[in-house]
Amino acid sequence: MILPIIFSLVWSTFVAPASSRRANLLVRILIELVIFATVTLLVTNKVSSKLGIIYGLVVLGNTALVHLGDSKMDDIHE
């Protein structure tokens, strides 16, 4: 039960767009990788292999689209 609390605190402090201590892009990607890989492994091992794979693929696609959108917005603001 402690893992969701830790992930929430790390996310809200270093990844959330409105955070005053938002980390740089590389650190944010590493944090996302650790959190989402951990959750994917837990779902795969504790719930269902099929659901774990589906979750991992959805997260991978969503993360790619979010970062692609962020880079497009950075281009617009320059």
- Over residues 18-73, the pLDDT tens digits come to 999 999 888 998 999 999 999 999 999 999 999 999 999 999 999 888 888 766 55
The total of structural domains in the chain comes to 1
Residue 41 corresponds to which amino acid?
Answer: L
Domain of 60, in residue numbers: 2-77
Report how far Cα 19 is from the mean position of its chain's Cα atoms. 15
Residue 76 has pLDDT above 60, yes or no: no
Report how far Cα 36 is from the mean position of its chain's Cα atoms. 6
Question: CA-to-CA distance for 59 and 44, rounded, in angstroms?
Answer: 14
